[in-house]
């Protein structure tokens, strides 16, 4: 069609113009392990592993995140 330009859709809009390398879609796989002890201590471990990544333009990307947590009850009398 004459007179029409290609339109690109970008999620970030600042100062009247779109930023070319902004926005992304990521689907994570998150395995989780939780261990409870007899003394009410709880150890939790999980990892965020990207299964699918789609970035608009060139951007730094997430690789993987790992976290660990220890919880225990505090009894206040």
pLDDT band of 14, cuts 50, 70, 90: low
- Model confidence at 59, pLDDT cuts 50, 70, 90, reads confident
Angle, alpha carbons 42-68-65 (nearest 5°)? 150
Taking the CA atoms of residue 36, residue 37, residue 43 and residue 45 in that order, the dihedral angle to the nearest 10 degrees is: -50
Distance in angstroms (rounded) separating the CA atoms of residues 34 and 63: 23
Do the beta carbons of residue 22 and residue 12 sit within 8 Å? Answer: yes
> Does the pLDDT of residue 1 top 70, yes or no?
no
Q: If pLDDT is split at 50, 70 and 90, which confidence band does 75 have?
A: confident
Between the CA of residue 6 and those of 9, 30, 35, 68, what are the distances in Å? 10, 38, 54, 47
């Amino acid at each position: 069609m004459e007179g029409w330009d290609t339109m690109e859709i970008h999620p970030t809009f600042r100062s009247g113009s779109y930023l070319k390398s902004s926005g992304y879609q990521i689907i994570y796989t998150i395995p989780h392990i939780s261990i409870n002890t007899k003394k009410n201590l709880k150890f939790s471990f999980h990892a965020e592993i990207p299964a699918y990544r789609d970035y608009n333009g060139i951007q730094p990307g997430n690789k993987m995140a790992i976290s660990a947590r220890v919880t225990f009850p505090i009894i206040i009398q």
